[in-house]
Structure 1
Amino acid sequence: MKIRTLSLACAMTAVMLSAGCTVVYRNSDACEQMTREKLAAKYPQELTISHTGAAIRGERVVVEGQFETPPKAASGVAASGVAAASATPAVVATGKKKKVYTATAAECTFSGSDLTAFRWLAPADLANPDDEASE
């Protein structure tokens, strides 16, 4: 009888511990999905998730990733045609455009399995939207 009780107690403990762990995974998945949706509103490129970190009990989740952005044009214009011609052979010779990636990070805060807060950590234009509004 004692063996049966001990086995039942161990099984119940395992079930209770694994139930607590599933909240962490559900919150991580929910934060990944929210990050993808919020990013798609501003950038149409596909987000590649590189890391998802969750705190104890999944109350705070940080999602890190990157997406491809078009390369920015040079801000300075060459004064002479010779300088401009000498600056482009590397690009012309290879014929390939270098891919530029923008790092992203977002933080989600949960209360149980309910999302209570979402904020961007990177890139800067998403993390500090007030800066764009004031300019």
Structure 2
Amino acid sequence: MKTTITRVILLSALCGLCACGVSYRNGKQCEAKMLETYPTQEPAITIQRRAVSHNGIRVVVEATYQVPAKPQLNTLLTVKTVPAPAAVECVFDGESMSSFKWISPVKMVPKPATADAQDQRR
């Protein structure tokens, strides 16, 4: 009886570790796609964190990049650059990426299809 219980516990732990592995790999794959699709002419991007949903189905990678600061009146300190947010969302089917989209910055987010473009497709 003890052997059976021990085997069940070990198999449960092993299955849990495998699920964590998928989440980790999906997070790394989404991060790599973000870096791959980020324009090289833009300021360098710094990954801040990866948020992974249960079983790694949905992954959001958050990052920042430096942009020129707007001049502030009545301040003693002058800041030349400030961090701006960048984020992507990836959806996975197991370990295969089924969707990738930029959430921010606005210039990276795809424009929605216009009514004219939808009419032309029909």
Q: TM-score range by the shorter chain?
A: 0.7 to 0.9
Q: Specify the alignment match of 2:47 in structure 1.
A: 49
- Which stretches in structure 1 are left out of the alignment for 5+ residues? 75-89
Q: Specify the alignment match of 2:96 in structure 1.
A: 114
What is the aligned length? 113
1:3 Cα deviation (Å)? 1.4
Q: Specify the alignment match of 1:23 in structure 2.
A: 22
Q: Specify the alignment match of 1:85 in structure 2.
A: none
TM-score, length of structure 1 as denominator length: 0.70
User: Does the 8 Å contact 2:59/2:89 carry over to 1?
Assistant: yes
1:16 Cα deviation (Å)? 1.1
State the AA in 2 paired with 1:60: R
TM-score, length of structure 2 as denominator length: 0.76
- In structure 2, how many angstroms separate the alpha carbons of the residues matched to 1:23 and 1:123? 28
Q: 1:6 to 1:123 in 2, by over 3 A?
A: same
RMSD: 2.8
Greater radius of gyration (CA): 1
User: Taking every aligned residue pair, what percent have the same amino acid on both sides?
Assistant: 27
In proportion to residue count, which structure has more helix? 1
- Which stretches in structure 2 are left out of the alignment for 5+ residues? 114-122
- In structure 2, how many angstroms separate the alpha carbons of the residues matched to 1:98 and 1:63? 26
State the AA in 1 paired with 2:9: C
Runs of 4+ in 1 over 4 A off after TM superposition: none
